[in-house]
Amino acid sequence: MKPLVIVTRKLPLAVEKRMQELFNVKLNDDDHPFTKDELLCAVQEATVLVPTVTDKIEAEIINAAGTNFKMIANFGVGINHVDLASARARMITVTNTPGVLTEDTAEMAFSLMLGIIRRVNEGERMLRAGKWQGWAPTDMHGTRLFGKKIGIIGMGRIGQALAKRAKAFGMGIHYHNRNPIHQDLEAEFGATYWQSLDQMITQMDVISLNCPYTDETHHLMNNHRLGLMQKHAYLINTARGEVIDEKILIEKLLSGEIRGAGLDVYENEPQVKKDFLTLENVVLAPHMGSATTEARQAMGDKVIINVKTFLDGHSPRDRVIS
């Protein structure tokens, strides 16, 4: 009997078919999010679990795993939903799918930026509601991107892909990162490195969050840093919802201390704070950063390679811990 691979959500059809060819796999045909009890059962039964961001793989679940449970092959890049310390203690290999959703997430960040700054979504709502009275010289003024300064927090793959797009639109590129990127890349983007995040925030027209979620970045944009943003500035988040203190962000948006925001991720997904739904100066998307056919297929391909490599007795390339 082949080792059992349990997949917690429905994946692209081609990915599932290939998994069925290669593995003894149990799929989630109706695509319901696994409950805690289902996750507990899965880790007691399986050798490999293929979870997504909707699965909270906490210490209790990992510690309840059966002796045959050896691998968590995450479908996605972010792994803040997995208790890595517990996995390491149990010598469970954890992998993810980096590098295949870079362009897609950068596109989403830029879409949110265009949508909120040029008031595209607001204009569409007005038109659909039958409230548009025709073109007028003073109607629906947005802001020009050309010549504006974008501050990118997290200059990894996605941050760099966003910088390329922003440069093409004539924006000034600024960034904060744990370390400066290579000087050749800085020259390519015409980018300015800011060691002080606080100082950078005070000077930017747009702040884009592209950093991973860790204990250090929890509520990185808190009352202090949101208060440093200029009144005409916009905040874009395609990282993780927990990077922003949403309660404070709502207060700043309501008071006009921040002009607008574009959000693809939220603190308590799939719940979204009701105030966001009523604000005109926010563009909201339902965690769509990697939602392209190409990205999701590539993520599935990476999962398959990671699992097959592991089951063949080798160390997967995309291991987070092993």
Note the pLDDT tens digit of each residue in 298-320.
999 999 999 999 999 999 999 99
Same domain, 212 and 110: yes
Model confidence at 59: pLDDT above 90: yes
Model confidence at 322: pLDDT above 90: no
CA distance 126 to 2: 57
CA distance 142 to 261: 13
How confident is residue 47, by pLDDT bands cut at 50, 70 and 90?
A: very high
Give the model's pLDDT for residue 164. 98
Same domain, 37 and 135: no
Residue among 154, 187, 152 nearest 166 (CA)? 152
Burial 206-222 (b: 16+ CB within 10 A, else e): bbbbbbbbeeebebbbe
The three-state secondary structure class of 93 is strand
- 137-151 residue pLDDT tens: 999 999 999 999 999
Same domain, 148 and 209: yes
Give the model's pLDDT for residue 132. 96
CA distance 65 to 139: 60
Give the model's pLDDT for residue 161. 98
The three-state secondary structure class of 258 is coil
Give the model's pLDDT for residue 219. 98
Same domain, 96 and 126: no
Q: What is the mean pLDDT of the chain?
A: 97
**Structural domains of the chain, count:** 2
Same domain, 53 and 108: no
Model confidence at 295: pLDDT above 80: yes
Same domain, 51 and 143: no
Same domain, 273 and 205: yes
Q: Whole domain around residue 158: which residue ranges?
A: 102-284
- 107-123 residue pLDDT tens: 999 999 999 999 999 99
- Residue 57 DSSP code: B
Same domain, 132 and 193: yes
Residue 206 phi, psi dihedral angles, 5° rounding: -135, 135
Same domain, 65 and 153: no
CA distance 295 to 77: 11
The arithmetic mean of pLDDT across residues 94-100, rounded, is 97
Give the model's pLDDT for residue 1. 75
CA distance 261 to 249: 9
Same domain, 124 and 264: yes
Q: One-letter amino acid identity for 218? A: H
Q: One-letter amino acid identity for 74? A: N
- 168-217 residue pLDDT tens: 999 999 999 999 999 999 999 999 999 999 999 999 999 999 999 999 99
CB 186 within 8 A of CB 241: no
Token pair for 273: 């704070």
The arithmetic mean of pLDDT across residues 267-294, rounded, is 96
Residue among 8, 13, 16, 14 nearest 50 (CA)? 8
Same domain, 303 and 252: no
CA distance 293 to 299: 10
- 222-266 residue pLDDT tens: 999 999 999 999 999 999 999 999 999 999 999 999 999 999 999
- Pairing mode of beta strands 149-153, 206-209: parallel
CA distance 313 to 319: 14
Same domain, 106 and 83: no
Question: Cα separations (Å) of 318 from 42, 246, 291, 310?
Answer: 22, 32, 21, 11
Q: Cite the active site residues.
A: 240, 269, 287
CB 93 within 8 A of CB 48: no
How confident is residue 321, by pLDDT bands cut at 50, 70 and 90?
A: confident
CA distance 120 to 141: 10
Residue 243 sits in a domain whose CATH number is: 3.40.50.720
CB 114 within 8 A of CB 145: yes
